[in-house]
Homo-oligomer: A and B are copies of this chain.
Amino acid sequence: MSEITTPPLPSSEGQGSEAPDTETLAAAPERRKRAGGRGAERHRSGTETSRYRKLVNTIARTEMLSAEALEDIHEASLTVLEEIGMDIILPEARDRMRAAGAEVRPGSERVRFDRGLILEMIASAPSAFTMHARNPARNVDIGGSNLVFAQVASAPFVADREGGRRAGNQADFRKLIKLAQHYEIIHTTGGYPVEPIDIHPSVRHLDCLSDLVTLTDKVFHCYSLGKQRNLDALEIARIGRGVSMEQMESEPSLFTVINSSSPLRLDGPMLQGIIEMSSRGQVVIMTPFTLAGAMAPVTIAGALVQQNAEALAGIAFTQMVRKGAPVMYGGFTSNVDMKTGAPAFGTPEYMKAVIAGGQLARRYRIPYRTSNTNAANTLDAQAAYESAMSLWALTQGGGNFVLHSAGWTEGGLTASFEKFILDVDMLQMVAEFLTPLDVSPDALALDAVRDVGPGGHYFGTAHTLARYETAFYSPILSDWRNFETWTDAGRPTTYDHANRIFKEALAAYQQPALDPAIEEELKEFVTRRKSEGGVATDF
């Protein structure tokens, strides 16, 4: 049933590609063609998962908004920024905004943005860029038709079947990032998959970021919780890549998620994070947290207006800090359960918001960040259908970067080991779905149909024998045994399989190679910063 694969060792050849500009993105189909032609991917070995490294979403985008409705939402959100404005809770940020032309009144945190200013600012945001990993084979291209999956982030709790649901700790943190490293379909980590509360907050970022460099060789995230943490993260990322800060500034290597405090507020640490990251050419993912009926209007269109206003303000600010700084448009609009106020995810309303959000992001030619969400408390059918509906919407809606791709459950409160495996399987199915259908003459199989003729079967034909090992995606979890065999095996559910497989994957995990000089430099930096007390906290 299961198939655990060992990822290839990190490649040391090449120095990573340059960030693609619009021109090279337009040439993407041509590049795919050179790589083996339509459908060539189908014929690789099922155990070779490196084909999941670069995903291109070839299908046409689905739209929920007419061109007119798209403009209505666009204009309404510019009106919000112009007439209502946003509360900007950092004097330095207000100063920069005023310098750029925004309306800031003395003694007030409120900032209003002329629509022309917003449009002028966001115009310099790049439509595509590359995020650089310490292993260049794991660089990720952001924007255009690229589809990048990042692991669950920021859950306070962690769960597996044996251990139950518990507060996050370092051991579970490490296990989760090892799983992210293990599966090629997970292109980047996404922050701390779970918050390790057994590490003191003053030094937590030092231990966690150090782990992200040593236990994985993929791109990682840093939290924007004050300037010093941003600076430490930048230095750790620089050390991990073994490059100068100058090189890193032209090769984004770190990303941060900036959430507005909806409605219409940006808090100090978030604004500081934009300043630190954008000024150094690192990636900001500007994501309003607009739950319709709670922090945003109860109508999805209204919530989208507010999402768009907050996203555009944050994106504009990245460009005020540094023209051309890489930034993503984050969509996270969902609804709440109006009976209880509980957040709901993977709903029809969420699907609509994800797809409409993609139209907005494409209107501004800014890469689009989405999420694989659900609100289930366990690994039941709900966990699967809410996630599958999320994946449906973000795939059809043209998400470029999918945070919380694997392991997110309970509305983000819990990182689940079993859900991680379920998500990996579903993400791989999405990847296979997006692989173009092979329609070569050989695939059309006229000769095979001739050979078999009416009333026969294809089990033993040459056409089948030449292809059967790699013809179809082999799921990690789906139990396709017949009922009797399945009953004899003890009637395992998806939850049982996922529980077994995450442990097998952890056992198969291989730590990626790291230059000993880099490892030493990293250790020295972390030791020094710890001896300095890390970042002062008041507890």
Contacts and interface: CB of A to CB of B under 8 A. Distances in A.
Contact of A481 (B340, B351, B380): B340
**Best-buried of A63, A73, A464, A468 by chain B (most CB within 10 Å):** A464
A456 interface: yes
A295 B299 CA distance: 49
**Best-buried of A62, A381, A410, A435 by chain B (most CB within 10 Å):** A381
Nearest to A439: B69
A102 to B, nearest CB: 14
Contact of A300 (B388, B437, B494): B437
A264 B453 contact: yes
Given A60-B62, A84-B450, A455-B265, A293 B468 contact: yes
Interface of A: 59-60, 62-65, 69, 72-73, 76, 79-80, 83-87, 110, 165, 261, 263-265, 292-303, 305-306, 335-344, 347-349, 351-352, 356, 375-389, 392, 396, 410, 413-414, 422, 425-426, 429-430, 432-433, 435-440, 442-446, 448-450, 452-459, 463-464, 467-469, 471-475, 477-483, 486, 491, 493-495, 498
B84 A491 contact: no
A483 B413 contact: yes
A380 B494 contact: yes
A463 B433 contact: no
Closest 8 pairs (CB-CB, A-B): A302-B445, A388-B388, A348-B432, A297-B445, A384-B384, A381-B494, A264-B454, A381-B384
B445 A301 contact: yes
B381 A443 contact: no
**Best-buried of A430, A446, A491 by chain B (most CB within 10 Å):** A446
Nearest to A446: B76
A493 B264 contact: no
Contacts of A265: 454-455
A73 to B, nearest CB: 7
B294 A458 contact: yes
A342 B482 contact: yes
A348 B261 CA distance: 39
Contact of A263 (B264, B356, B454, B494): B454
